[in-house]
């Protein structure tokens, strides 16, 4: 007889898939972040953008997107919201009329300083259910995996180093 027996589909096809588990953890991570940081009106993405602008004053949107691996189009909206909240300002670059440089405002620097403990608390809560040794193991494997899979994502991370020779004269 022909091999016509269809594979019986079970929910394991969803529940045990790493992609599903990463999606769930992302949902959980965002929920915990929002809960811990609700006093600050900042999303995880907005927080990451603020940190990067803080450590790279005068960065432009395209580089920012590469340094945190967020899509350039997405980041346009994020920047707009941060600007509306007056946490950042945009200044036209003198030597390139296309570019707008990003800087923290005082309010932005202040909120970034103040939100840190809450962010740390949210990050700790994510891994809390695991034993301390398991937390380290998971974090190490996750860091490895993200790094090794970097090129698989649509917007690979390009660290500062990889960008230094771009868009500058030197």
Partner DNA sequence: AATTAATTGACAGTATACTCACAATATGGC
Partner DNA sequence: GCCATATTGTGAGTATACTGTCAATTAATT
Regarding 54 and contact with DNA (CB under 7 A), the answer is no
29 contact, one of DNA, a copy of itself, none, CB 5-8 Å limit per kind: a copy of itself
DSSP code at position 40? G
Q: Which of 107, 97, 111 is nearest to 60 (CA)?
A: 97
Say whether residue 38 binds DNA (CB under 7 A): no
The site partner of 61 among DNA, a copy of itself, none (C-beta below 5 to 8 Å per kind) is DNA
Q: Which stretch binds DNA (CB under 7 A): 6-14, 54-62, 108-116, 133-141?
A: 54-62
Query: Could you give the residue ranges of the DSSP H alpha helices within the chain?
Result: 12-15, 18-36, 44-55, 61-68, 72-84, 106-127, 132-148, 160-163
Taking CB under 7 A as the binding criterion, the range among 1-9, 11-19, 128-136, 150-158 that sits at the site for DNA is: 150-158
Task: Rank residues 20 and 91 by Cβ distance to a copy of itself and give the closer one.
Answer: 20
Contacts for 66-70: CB closer than 8 Å, 24+ residues apart: 66/155, 66/157, 66/158, 66/162, 66/163, 67/157, 67/158, 67/159, 67/160, 67/163, 68/157, 69/153, 69/155, 69/156, 69/157, 70/45, 70/155
Assess 9 for contact with a copy of itself (CB under 8 A): yes
Indicate the SS3 state at residue 67.
helix
- Could you say which residues in the range 110-169 bind a copy of itself, by CB under 8 A? 112-113, 116, 119, 122-123, 125-127, 129-130, 134, 137-139, 141-146, 148-150, 152-155, 157, 160
Residues 90-109, mask of contacts with a copy of itself (x by CB under 8 A): --------------------
Q: What is the DSSP letter of 152?
A: G
Q: What angle do CA 158, 143, 160 make, to 5 degrees?
A: 20
Contact residues for a copy of itself (CB under 8 A)? 6-7, 9-11, 13-14, 16-33, 44, 48, 51-52, 54-55, 67-69, 112-113, 116, 119, 122-123, 125-127, 129-130, 134, 137-139, 141-146, 148-150, 152-155, 157, 160
């Amino acid at each position: 007889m022909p091999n016509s027996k269809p594979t019986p589909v079970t929910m394991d096809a969803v529940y045990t898939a790493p992609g599903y588990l990463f999606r769930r953890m992302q949902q959980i991570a965002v929920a915990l972040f929002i809960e811990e940081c609700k006093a600050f009106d900042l999303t995880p993405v907005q927080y990451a953008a603020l940190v990067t602008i803080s450590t790279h004053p005068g960065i432009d949107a395209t580089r920012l997107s590469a340094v945190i691996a967020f899509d350039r189009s997405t980041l346009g909206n994020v920047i707009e919201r941060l600007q509306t909240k007056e946490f950042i300002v945009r200044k036209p670059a003198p030597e390139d009329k296309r570019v707008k440089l990003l800087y923290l405002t005082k309010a932005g620097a202040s909120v970034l300083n103040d939100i840190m403990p809450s962010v740390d608390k949210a990050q700790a809560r994510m891994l809390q259910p695991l034993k301390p040794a398991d937390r380290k193991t998971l974090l190490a494997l996750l860091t490895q995996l993200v790094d090794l899979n970097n090129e698989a994502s649509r917007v690979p991370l390009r660290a500062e180093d990889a960008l230094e020779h771009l868009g500058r004269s030197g």
